[in-house]
A and B are shown apart, each in its own frame.
Chain A
């Protein structure tokens, strides 16, 4: 160990080893740390909270790309693309303590009841082996843990048993403009749940309106997983950063150790009674595939052959334009109203989608000021011309699980540790494209009723991913059809769980993190139960 470097040696007598310090891993660690010896390994660093304003500056300045904000990229994060669409993986993740919640938008909806029974109710996709009712108490617990500001004014949301922990953010001025158009069209608007403090909560301040929620909240008002990592550490958990796990050592029925490398070049083995893999929808299947053996020649926990298969993301649909009046955009970096009215019309042909009313349509004057060849009065004139009348609607669309959309290993390229990099083969499918068209149709009707000049449409040809990696270690009651069971425990290994959106059999169209959190809490209960009685 070099001087000044933290001790990254393994913990002796660990009960639980969690791989990944994002929201799923952090919640599992926090749940178990009081009663068990827990160690968390993360491939990325522990970021200094004092650097958040500097990271915000990176988010605003044009010389930094999105991955630069949280130091993503380089050989550590190398990857390959081989699908019909390029997947910008390093824009879609953060490696380090806190994981991708460091750069997320912070939207936290529950999946709808039919999302758990897509094959039965919609005729496509795969049913989950659990129902909404099974996850419902864990959703409530997850809302308390993350701190969710919301209201019970959404007639299309699934049933809930108690109010959100915090009141919803009030609608924006531009929401009031949209409301008139939506009323004319018979479209319902409602509040939207934010993992962002509308008032002081859990020792963190209320939102102060920095307006850079994605990719960084300097105030800490937006939830990120460092909250639960710190809480787990206070209870005795050990968190080892810059510890890239390259392999899960195992025998026929159990994982025996997580082999990891540290920046000093040392190789370590973390043993434990139970292992929870929480590396997200790309690195989780990659780690399992890297852990192949004579016993599991196609990759660990892959007797079903589904590890890495069925890679899904949500697709963005949007329409934007300008009005001939002020719209007051870009004061905050989150939205306050949404529409789930069309979500449960989903069927075999058109998938579920949700609609969002933007509070940040059009250019940010600060960012605009830093580009262009003008300054002084000319620059101010340009900024005034560019700001003030924009409106936009966005939306997320479900992509079905498809065998030709997958995460594999690229045999021709290795990362900074010599391990094959992930190969992303992303295929979207016609149903998702039709759903984008349907979302665009609704969005266009609202903007036309608003009297907007429509200037852009993110339709089937211009869509992109929402950076929600899902489906690559799917959940199934049938060991031949999925990687994990209903408790997120792998069918093949008795002491290995996966806490991640990787386990989603079908994705729905809601942002996944609240479901990730609920599943993580549920998995933690199963780990605790089995540590007590069987492991």
Chain B
């Protein structure tokens, strides 16, 4: 099932711009016990410096390829378009950048390569080693909780609040999507 431009627009319509009240992010400054790794990576985005926009987009698309079901196509373009609206200079966008940067740090430390350069199975393992699979999302929590919030759930929210994501489950107007007042009246197809 192909994710379309309309899906990305719909996902953004569901969650909108990230400014205002979405989250109250505290800048993470102490990575001593939260899984931040070494700074000997290779592309200049490592360490304390915030990752570039391209790195954030590449890492998020790489993670989405793991999180999204195999029958979904067009993931990279969908994530890119979704992030057009989410990486908007808000506190939430800063939280996404920081969490992606820390995930990349962990990848470099443990796999000697950034997230986007890992194989799909390595990305899956990285996310679980960070603890993002069992963590409850928390924008101000531990690394695992922040990765769950800003990376994993950010991407899952984008998919499953979109029409295509909803249709995967059998619900063409998922919660958060302004899909009108026709579908609730229709019977199963």
What residues make up the interface of A, taking CB atoms closer than 8 Å to B?
48, 50-51, 53-58, 60-63, 71, 169-173, 176, 198, 206-212, 218-219, 325-326, 328, 330-333, 336, 359, 364-367, 369-371, 373-377, 379-380, 383-384, 387-388
Contact = CB atoms under 8 A, between A and B. Distances in A.
9 contacts: A54-B17, A60-B176, A61-B153, A208-B178, A210-B175, A212-B176, A328-B184, A331-B179, A376-B69
Nearest to B179: A209
Contact of B174 (A63, A218, A366): A366
Q: Indicate the member of A61, A330, A331, A336 with the most B CB atoms within 10 Å.
A: A331
Contacts of A209: 173, 177-181, 183-184
A325 B174 CA distance: 19
A366 B178 contact: no
Contacts of B137: 61-63, 370
Contact of A375 (B14, B18, B21, B152): B152
Contacts of A328: 183-184, 186-188
A216 B157 CA distance: 17
Name B's interface SS: loop
A57 B15 contact: yes
B22 A380 contact: no
Given A171-B185, A380-B168, 10 more contacts: A54-B16, A56-B16, A63-B139, A198-B181, A209-B179, A210-B178, A333-B175, A364-B175, A380-B69, A384-B168
A210 B176 contact: yes
Interface in B34-71: 66-71
Contacts of A169: 181
A383 B175 contact: no
A219 B178 CA distance: 9
Contacts of A60: 15, 157, 161, 175-176
Contacts of A206: 181
A391 to B, nearest CB: 14
B156 interface: yes
B76 interface: no
A376 B159 CA distance: 11
A331 B156 contact: no
Q: Indicate the member of A169, A208, A211, A366 with the most B CB atoms within 10 Å.
A: A366
B20 A50 contact: yes
Q: Indicate the member of A54, A55, A170, A367 with the most B CB atoms within 10 Å.
A: A54
Given A62-B137, A365-B169, A51 B20 contact: yes
Contact of B15 (A53, A333, A383): A53
B161 A366 contact: yes
Nearest to A174: B184
A19 B180 CA distance: 37
Given A54-B18, A56-B176, A366-B174, A387 B185 contact: no
Contact of A208 (B21, B134, B160, B180): B180
A375 B133 contact: yes
Contact of B184 (A172, A366, A387): A172
B142 to A, nearest CB: 13
A534 to B, nearest CB: 45
Contacts of A170: 185
A68 B134 CA distance: 23
Interface residues of B, number: 52
A379 B69 contact: yes
B15 A330 contact: no
Interface string B66-80: 111111000000000
Contact of B66 (A332, A370, A376): A376
A324 B139 CA distance: 39
B113 interface: no
**Closest 10 A-B residue pairs measured CB to CB?**
A53-B16, A331-B184, A208-B178, A326-B188, A51-B20, A54-B22, A380-B69, A211-B175, A373-B133, A369-B160
B157 A207 contact: no
B82 interface: no
A222 to B, nearest CB: 13
Given A172-B185, A366-B175, A383 B160 contact: yes
Contacts of B138: 63
Q: Indicate the member of B14, B161, B176 with the most A CB atoms within 10 Å.
A: B176
Q: Indicate the member of A172, A176, A380 with the most B CB atoms within 10 Å.
A: A380
B174 A61 contact: no
A80 to B, nearest CB: 27
Nearest to B187: A173
Nearest to A384: B169
A63 B184 contact: no
A326 B170 contact: yes
Nearest to B70: A377
Contacts of B124: 376
Contacts of A208: 178-181
A242 to B, nearest CB: 16
A285 B185 CA distance: 44
A71 B21 contact: yes
Nearest to A382: B169
B129 to A, nearest CB: 13
A379 B64 CA distance: 13
A380 B72 CA distance: 11
Nearest to A372: B133
Q: Indicate the member of B149, B178, B183 with the most A CB atoms within 10 Å.
A: B178
Contacts of B94: none
Contacts of B152: 375
A458 to B, nearest CB: 22
B23 to A, nearest CB: 8
B112 interface: no
B184 A370 contact: no
Contacts of A171: 185
B136 A365 contact: no
Nearest to A325: B188
Nearest to A63: B137
Nearest to B68: A376
B177 A369 contact: no
Contacts of A207: 181
A57 B16 contact: yes
A218 B172 CA distance: 19
Nearest to B168: A380
Given A53-B16, A172-B185, A376 B67 contact: yes
A212 B22 CA distance: 16
B117 interface: no
A176 B174 CA distance: 21
Contacts of B160: 365-366, 369, 383
